[in-house]
Amino acid sequence: MRTLAVDGPARLLARPGVRAALAALAVPGEETRLVGGCVRDALLGIDAADIDLATTLLPDAVAARGRAAGLKAIPTGIEHGTVTLIACGEPIEVTTLREDIATDGRHAIVRFGRDFRRDAERRDFTVNALFLGADGRLADTVGGLADLEAGRVRFIGDAATRLGEDALRILRFFRFHARFGDGPPDPGGLAACIAARGALATLSRERVRAEFLKLLMAPGARAAIDVLSETGLLTRITGGVGEAGRLSRVAAAKAPAATRLAALAVATRDDAARLRKALRLSKAEHAALDGYARALAALKGRATIDARALRALVAEHGTEAVGAALAATAGEPRPLIAAAATAAWEALGNGPLPVLPVGGADLVARGIPAGPRIGRALAAARRLWLAEGCPAGPDATERLIALALASDRRTPPPEPTRDADPGGP
């Protein structure tokens, strides 16, 4: 059982933006309360990044009251009852109480209501359905406080019904358990997620991607991934198996989400390409996965990594990709990381990348004409430079220039271009 922060709700209510928004919406006969994640986080002693209010006021009245109080009002989702108020520079989402009329698993038909209990019943998990009034009183009609204390993530009402309303809640169940749960997942919720696994295919890949990357950043991601893997749900999300041990290692190194995904699900460049499609990854995310795959292949292709080899790897693949591959494979039998390589990594991580100390201008100055011959000569110099562990300094530069010149002399000249016979047939 965890101890909740008894002063958390008061600190939340004391935030200037919260005070301003609640004051603007204080109307006789109406009520506005803080709701959801900000209340949950306050009880855990966390300063919430997102503030949500639930109100009996209709959206037009929310906007009007906000503007009258000098707040900017943005109709971010007014058709669903949501208006964003900018109070003291802080965005605060205000949503009119709602009741579900019908849902097809992706879109809900709702009507505005005035009953906070009914509004709570349409939410996903009990820990996300806590209300905090402007007077400091907590309202819990679904058992969220007890679940929060117990470290239990539980669907509100019938789990199958909640999943039928939105299959993304399968991923949210695991993400919230990875962040707030203690021990194994709620058995009823887990069974409902497994039973509804086929609905994952109906979700947009962008929504799956966003939830899964958030899950990988949660403190309990490793345990959640183990359960996803054991139940076959992980394959439906990523299209492959998972390296949970590698995920744990990069998570311990405070790696970003894309690196965690790479460690979990990428062994080859084909995996990176598959995940780009399966999760609709951004170009930057795919580049991170692809770079990791190339660095991993180069790393695992050697039995031992010494300082020279490590400098070459960094020059070829960059510190980010090499660092991710090193963190993911730490402790694995291959390759053996020499002590000198560890020292070299510490220096490389704090300094500039090794750069080939020879450029095209150096070769032109030595008589090689600009054009394809320069590229071939530089490639030969780069191969030697990498093989020698990226040496620097005047001696290394002269040796590499000499190699480039020798390589150019050994390269046969290109065949001359034959023009058409001017004489004709």
Q: Following DSSP, what letter does each residue of 160-208 receive, concatenated?
A: HHHHHH-TTHHHHHHHHHHHH--SSPPHHHHHHHHHTGGGGGGS-HHHH
Whether 423 is in a domain gets the answer: no
The pLDDT of residue 210 = 97
Domain ends where: 211, 238, 265? 238
- Compute CA distances 375 → 241, 315, 317, 370, 400, whole Å: 41, 18, 20, 9, 14
Whether 215 is in a domain gets the answer: yes
Number of H helices, E strands in the chain: 22, 11
Query: 347's torsion region: left (phi>0), alpha (psi -120 to 50) or beta?
Result: alpha
pLDDT (tens, 9 = 90+) of the chain, 425 residues, equals: 899 999 999 999 999 999 999 999 999 999 999 999 999 999 999 999 999 999 999 999 999 999 999 999 999 988 889 999 999 999 999 999 988 666 655 556 668 999 999 999 999 999 999 999 999 999 999 999 999 999 999 999 999 999 999 999 999 999 999 999 999 999 999 999 999 999 999 999 999 999 999 999 999 999 999 999 999 999 999 999 899 999 999 999 999 999 999 999 999 999 999 999 999 999 999 999 999 999 999 999 999 999 999 999 999 999 999 999 999 999 999 899 999 998 888 888 667 788 899 999 989 998 888 889 999 989 988 998 888 888 888 998 998 989 889 888 876 655 544 444 444 44
The SS3 of residue 403 is: helix
Whether 340 is in a domain gets the answer: yes
Question: CA 224 to CA 398: how far, in whole Å?
Answer: 56
CATH classification of the domain holding 17: 3.30.460.10
Question: CA 56 to CA 39: how far, in whole Å?
Answer: 18
Question: CA 23 to CA 327: how far, in whole Å?
Answer: 50
Whether 248 is in a domain gets the answer: no
Does 299 lie in the same domain as 268? yes
Whether 368 is in a domain gets the answer: yes
Whether 415 is in a domain gets the answer: no
Does 309 lie in the same domain as 369? no
Domain ends where: 109, 129, 150? 150
Question: CA 392 to CA 356: how far, in whole Å?
Answer: 8
Structure tokens at 184: 């194994």
Structure tokens at 43: 């009880």
Does 366 lie in the same domain as 316? no
Question: CA 48 to CA 55: how far, in whole Å?
Answer: 19
According to DSSP, residue 81 is labeled T
Total domains in the fold of the chain: 4
According to DSSP, residue 14 is labeled T
Contacts 24+ apart (CB under 8 A), 184-192: 184/227, 185/153, 185/224, 185/227, 186/152, 186/153, 186/154, 186/155, 188/154, 188/155, 188/159, 189/153, 189/154, 189/155, 189/159, 190/227, 190/231, 191/159, 192/155, 192/159, 192/160, 192/162, 192/163
Q: Are 322 and 262 in contact (CB under 8 A)?
A: no
Q: Following DSSP, what letter does each residue of 225-289 receive, concatenated?
A: HHHHHHTTHHHHHHSS---HHHHHHHHHTT--HHHHHHHHH-SSHHHHHHHHHHTT--HHHHHHH
The pLDDT of residue 33 = 98
Question: CA 104 to CA 198: how far, in whole Å?
Answer: 15
Does 110 lie in the same domain as 31? yes
Does 136 lie in the same domain as 161? no
Does 350 lie in the same domain as 364? no
Does 126 lie in the same domain as 59? yes
The SS3 of residue 152 is: coil
Instruction: Show the CA angle centred on residue 261, arms to residues 260 and 262, nearest 5°.
Output: 90
Q: Are 134 and 13 in contact (CB under 8 A)?
A: yes
Whether 419 is in a domain gets the answer: no
Does 218 lie in the same domain as 131? no
> CA Rg, the chain, in Å?
30
Give the up-direction half-sphere exposure of residue 17: CA atoms within 13 A in the CB hemisphere: 19
Question: CA 322 to CA 387: how far, in whole Å?
Answer: 17
The pLDDT of residue 107 = 58
The pLDDT of residue 177 = 98
Whether 425 is in a domain gets the answer: no
90-96 vs 98-103, strand pairing mode: unpaired
Domain ends where: 238, 272, 300? 238
Does 75 lie in the same domain as 18? yes
| Dihedral of alpha carbons 198, 199, 202, 208, sign | negative
Does 370 lie in the same domain as 349? no
The SS3 of residue 36 is: coil
Domain around 336? 253-354
pTM for the structure as a whole:
0.86
Does 197 lie in the same domain as 68? no
Does 47 lie in the same domain as 8? yes
The four Cα atoms 300, 302, 307, 309 give a dihedral, to 10 degrees, of -100
